[in-house]
Amino acid sequence: MRALLYRLALASLAVLLPPLLQAQSQDLVFRDRFDASDRPATRGEAARFLTQATFGPSDPQIDSLAAGSYAGWLAQQRALPPSLVLPYMRAQSGTTDPLQAIPFHVYRQAWFVRVLGAPDQLRQRVAFALSEILVVSERGNGLDNDGLALGAYYDILLRNALGNYRQLLEEVTLSPAMGRYLSMYRNRKPDPANNIQSDENYAREVMQLFSIGLVKLNRDGSPVLAGGQAVPTYDGDVVRGFARVFTGWACHCGAGQPCPADPFPVEPFTCSTEHEMVPYEAYHDRNEKRLLDGAVLPAGRDARPELEQALDLLFNHPNVAPFIARQLIQRLVSSNPSPAYIARVAAVFDNNGQGVRGDLGATVQAILLDDEARRGPRSLPSTFGKVREPLLRLTALWRAFDVEWENDELFPDDREIHESHNQSPLLSPSVFNFFSPTYSPGGALVQNALVAPEMQIVTANFAIRLANDVSNRVFWGYRGGPMDEFDDRVRLVLLDRWVQLLQPVAGGNEAPPGAVDRLIDRCADLLLGGELTPALRQRIRSRVLALPPDEPLRRVQNAIYLIATSPEFAVQR
């Protein structure tokens, strides 16, 4: 049903669109007054912005952005309500029972439905970025095939993606999925008589990965140095202090639900994996705790007020702004942001202009509107950008070519998307994400002190598989192609309007004059932000012109294939 609506919406937009030829002449006007102003100067510029802010540009989206301004688009996006996944998953599974398990593949299906079609693209993109910072994974403690817990977790990210980081941190901390994943669920106060300590897992990772990191940072993200050495943010005693803070939490039991009165001695998870965890004071440590930088929590406190205070300490630590700013920039815009760029974004995280700390919407806006984000390809041509994440390559290709499908369920190949892409939402191999923000593949990059985190999963075998995946999508998975009618779950790209562009005029044998170059330009706008090297253009041009003019479909497929598999497309700039 949704898919049908989606297609209808696309079709109605297409009627209103100017033909490609008209758009081309508009670009010439835009180009004369190019600057990094408040609106895109070209279709390529618009596409570049949308590549950073969404799951990939499409012509309707470019038109919509070009009709307004970046700030207007952002304001509109920030006002959109979240398109959540769990309600969709429940509807798909035909269940209303809050305890009813939902298989994990339904979450993956929901993720694809949302990122390909949901209007709140900015929120969806930021939530996905956050899922790679505040990591939980189905490959982890007790979350095997638990679509309910993981879907509920992803909705926390969606709801708070443009909200406040403090609220996000608390909802994440108390989510059953994270409770399970990093074993805060059923973590108990120490039992010295039996030589048992509190579990340090969440205490360690919430500091190292979700808030402050291992070493003290300057505002620009560089490490604070003392005698040439980095300064640790915490030590083992602080970890043990936080470990005792995070004691006494287990699952919520709703009215009429058949849960045990005391879930601590019980396995497995018998109550809601959707509702936030609740305190069981008998298991909470009430001793004094020494936390960050000498802060002391007095003895005798209940679990929740103590947790609130501990999260406040983390949230208000000066590291959070540069630590989170850098990673969000890396996920959305560029792997190697300049220190000044990090500092500018961190300043907005620290204060959104109205005295509010941790405003993610304002932080994301600062990331996307920053001069470095908008002018990077020109101001830092050799280092700006990021290797596209494998999943984002696929969504960009699909969205650029107006993907549609009949049945929301995923075709088997797409259900096993990690096999071809080495990445799948909420399926990281560990809490350290699919790749490290500091990973560098070596060679020229490391000699220039550059990182390329995504290269950690785009290894030799996957670089080849990703290219072959594009071949499958373009040469097989298009409307009217061999996969159409074969299975209604296949996502299909629409190539007809592109084929029309190359169709020989009535009575002739050749494509209209200039049509091949327009095809390449249009594809380059969508996939490369309009930036195509002369060498690649020449290779595509020769290839397309070598194909018979009466095979316009094959010409279109070759042009798209060669762009979407090129090293130029592999790096988002």
> Binding mask 216-255 vs other proteins (x if CB under 8 A, - otherwise)?
-------x-x--xxx-x---xx-x----------------
Closer residue to other proteins, CB minimum distance, 445 or 494: 445
Residue 294 as a binder of other proteins (CB under 8 A): the answer is no
The SS3 call for residue 278 is: strand
CA angle 189–190–191, rounded 5-degree value: 120
Helix axes 552-564, 534-546, angle to 10 degrees: 150
Residue 541 as a binder of other proteins (CB under 8 A): the answer is no
Closer residue to other proteins, CB minimum distance, 112 or 478: 478
Q: Which stretch binds other proteins (CB under 8 A): 35-43, 68-76, 158-166, 556-564?
A: 556-564
Query: What 8-state DSSP symbol labels residue 270?
Result: -
Residue of the chain from 460, 507, 509, 513 that contacts other proteins (CB under 8 A): 460
In 296-442, which ranges are continuous DSSP H helix?
303-315, 320-332, 339-350, 360-369, 371-379, 390-400, 412-415, 417-421
Residue 412 as a binder of other proteins (CB under 8 A): the answer is no
Residue 339 as a binder of other proteins (CB under 8 A): the answer is no
Q: Rounded to an integer, what distance in angstroms lies between the CA atom of residue 343 and that of residue 329?
A: 11
Residue 335 as a binder of other proteins (CB under 8 A): the answer is yes
Residue of the chain from 4, 5, 14, 446 that contacts other proteins (CB under 8 A): 446
Amino acid at 56: G
Q: Which of 335, 290, 330 is nearest to 310 (CA)?
A: 290
Q: Decide: residue 314, CB within 10 A, 0-12 exposed, 13-18 middle, 19+ buried.
A: buried
Distance in Å, CB of 535 to other proteins, minimum: 5
Residue 183 as a binder of other proteins (CB under 8 A): the answer is yes
Residues 509-528 that bind other proteins (CB under 8 A): none
Q: Rounded to an integer, what distance in angstroms lies between the CA atom of residue 373 and that of residue 388?
A: 15
Residue 50 as a binder of other proteins (CB under 8 A): the answer is no
Residue 318 as a binder of other proteins (CB under 8 A): the answer is no
**How many residues make contact with other proteins (CB under 8 A)?**
89
Residue 369 as a binder of other proteins (CB under 8 A): the answer is no
Distance in Å, CB of 573 to other proteins, minimum: 7
Distance in Å, CB of 235 to other proteins, minimum: 9
Distance in Å, CB of 571 to other proteins, minimum: 4
Residue 439 as a binder of other proteins (CB under 8 A): the answer is yes
**Alpha carbon separation from 379 to 4, 27, 570 (Å, rounded):** 43, 22, 20
DSSP string covering 174-204? T-HHHHHHTT-TT----BGGGTB----HHHH
Closer residue to other proteins, CB minimum distance, 39 or 541: 541
Torsional class of 415: left (φ above 0), alpha (ψ -120 to 50), beta (otherwise):
alpha
Closer residue to other proteins, CB minimum distance, 138 or 359: 138
